[in-house]
Amino acid sequence: AGIGKHFKYLILGGGVAAGYAAREFARLGVKLGELAIISKEAVAPYERPTLSKAYLFPQGAARLPGFHVCVGSGGERLLPEWYSEKGIELILRTEIAKAELTSRALTSVAGATFTYDNLIIATGSVVTRLTDIGVQGADCNNIFYLREIDDAYKLVSAIQARKNAKSVILGGGYIGLELGAALQINDLDVTMVYPEPWCMPRLFSPEIAAFYEGYYAIKGIKIIKGTTAVGFDSDANGNVTKVKLKDGRVLDADIVVVGVGARPHTTLLKGQVAEEKGGVKTDSFFKTSVPSVYAVGDVATFPLKLYKELRRVEHVDHSRKSAEQAVKAIKASEAGQTVEEYDYLPYFYSRAYDLSWQFYGDNVGDTVLFGDNNPLSAKPKFGSYWIKDGKVVGAFLESGSPEENKAIAKIARLQPPAPDLEQLKNEGLSFASKF
Ligand code: FDA
Ligand code: NAD
C-alpha cells in the first residue's frame, strides 16, 4: 500500500462521462494536479458507441485515437496529451477494488490508495454474462461480450481469424441489433436469437420492430424469436461449436456474441450510498446521499424533471450531459452559487447499415406508426408517436434529416395535445414539423 495520492477532484471510471466531465472542468478552470481520472481501461476516455459500429467495419474501421471524446458530439478530440497539458492525471489500467466513502479513499486491486475532496462516480454499466443468468457451458472460447475496447479488439481478431464463420447472436436489444448488422457486413453467417416476440421491446412497438426484422432478413440474417440459449458444445480446443436452444434446436457456431443486457456498476458502493431503481440515487445536480460524492452517466438514478420521476438512463447523450451538469454544480457551489436543475429530454439513437434512427421523450401509452416502413422500399422512412393522456409524449424517426430530428425532439419536449390517432397517422411527420 503506502501513502496514497490526494486529489481535489477524483473521477472513478474513465468512460464517456469521465471524458466530458474533464472537458467541463477544463472549461471552468482547474489547476494543475487538482483532477484525476481513474480507469481500469488502458486508454483515455473515448466514445463508447463507436465500438459496436465503425470499430467493426471490414474496411476503414475506426481506431483510436480517432474516436476519443468529445468527437461524438462534434467537439474537440481529447488526446492523452490534452490531459497532461491541463494537468489532469489519467490513471489508467487501474481497477478500484474498494471505495470507503467515509474516509474518502479508494484502493486499487494492486493496493494503491487515492484520496479526494470530491468524488464523481462514473463507473458505467457491467455487462450481464450468461453465467449470471444461469446458462451452462458458457465458458468456452469464442463467446464474446461487448462493453470495452478490449472486448471489441478481441471480437475483431476473431472475425478476422475465421472468414465466413457462422455466428450466433444472443439478445435482441441494442447490442444484438448493431452486432447482427456488423457481423453480416463482415460476411459472417448470422443467426440472431432472442426470447421476446419482437426485437428491442424496451423501446420498439411491434410495427417498428417488424421493419428492422424484415430489413435484416433481406440482408440474409436469420432470426429465431421466443427462445434462448441453454447450453453450448465445444471442441477439443475448447472452441464453441454449437449453441443449444431451449426450444430444442441446435445451431452451429464458430462465434457467439452475447448482448443480454447490462446493469449499473454500483458494487463498490453497496451499503454506503442511497440507491434507487438499481442505480445510485442523486438529486438534479447529481449529488448522492453522501456529501461531496456525485454520480453521473449510466449509474445515476436522477430526477427526470419532465416526467416528475426518478429515472436511470443508459445512453450516451445523458452520460455527457449529466457529467457536465455535475461539474457545473461542483464549481458553482464552490463559488457560493447554484446552477439550474437538470431538465433532461431522453434521447436515444442507433445506426446499422444505411439505417439511422432517433428517439426522443417517453415511450409510454398508445403508438401511431406513420410513413413507409416497408423494408423492401428503395428508401424506407417512417416514424412513430407515443400518446399518453391525450398528449404526444414520445417520437421515433428512421432516416430523418437533421431538421426532422429536431422537429421530433421539439414535440417530445412540448408534449402538444394529440389529434385523434387516425389524423395523427395521416399527418405523420408534418404534425411534428408544425411546432
Ligand atoms: P462508461 O461505460 O462509458 O464508462 C465507465 C468506465 O468506468 C469504464 O472505463 C470502466 O472501465 C470504468 N470502471 C468501472 N469500474 C471501475 C473500477 N472499479 N475501477 C476503475 N475503473 C472502473 N448509447 C447511445 O445513446 N447510442 C449508442 O449508439 C450507443 N452505443 C453503445 C455501444 C456499446 C458497445 C456500448 C457498450 C454502449 C453504447 N451506448 C450507446 C451506451 C453508452 O455508451 C453509455 O450509456 C455510456 O458509455 C455511459 O457512460 P458512463 O461514463 O456512465 O460509463
Ligand atoms: P438491452 O437491454 O438493450 O437488450 C437486452 C436483450 O437481451 C433483450 O432485449 C433480450 O432480447 C435479451 N435477453 C434478456 N434476458 C435474456 C435472457 N435471460 N436470455 C436471453 N436473452 C435475454 O441490452 P444490450 O443490448 O445488451 O446492451 C447493453 C448496454 O449497452 C445497454 O445499457 C444499452 O443501452 C447499451 N447500448 C446502447 C446502444 C445504443 O443506445 N444505440 C448500443 C449498444 C449498447
Return the domain boundaries, the chain: 5-126+263-334, 130-260, 354-433
Helix H, strand E, coil C: the string for 303-319 is EEHHHCEEEECCCHHHH
Query: What gap in Å lies between CA 389 and CA 366, rounded to an integer?
Result: 9
Segment 375-412, tens digit of pLDDT: 999 999 999 999 999 999 999 999 999 999 999 999 99
Give residue ranges with CB within 6 A of ligand 1. Answer: 13-18, 38-41, 48-49, 51-52, 95-96, 122-125, 146-148, 265, 268, 297-298, 314-317, 319, 348-350
Q: How far is the CA of 125 from the centre of ligand 2 (A)?
A: 12
Q: Residue 155, class by beta-carbon neighbours within 10 Å (0-12 exposed, 13-18 middle, 19+ buried)?
A: buried
pLDDT at 136: 82
Beta strand 143-144 with 262-264: parallel, antiparallel or unpaired?
unpaired
Fold of 5-126+263-334: FAD/NAD(P)-binding domain (3.50.50)
pLDDT tops 50 at residue 1? no
Q: How far is the CA of 263 from the centre of ligand 2 (A)?
A: 10
pTM of the model: 0.98
State ipTM: 0.99
Ligand number, closest to the Cα atom of 109: 1
b/e 233-271 (16+ beta carbons within 10 angstroms → b):
ebeeeeebbbbbbeeeeebebbbbbbbbbbbbbbebbee
The grid coordinates listed for 359 are 428517439
What is the homologous superfamily of the domain 130-260 according to CATH?
A: FAD/NAD(P)-binding domain (3.50.50.60)
Q: Are the C-beta atoms of residues 276 and 301 closer than 8 Å to each other?
A: yes
Q: How large is the angle between the packed helices 16-28 and 316-334, nearest 10 degrees?
A: 30
Segment 271-312, tens digit of pLDDT: 999 999 999 999 999 999 999 999 999 999 999 999 999 999
Residue in 284, 355, 280, 349 with CA at minimum distance from that of residue 316: 349
Segment 148-188, tens digit of pLDDT: 999 999 999 999 998 889 999 999 999 999 999 999 999 99
pLDDT tops 70 at residue 3? no
Same fold, 5-126+263-334 and 130-260: yes
The architecture of the domain spanning 354-433 is: 2-Layer Sandwich (3.30)
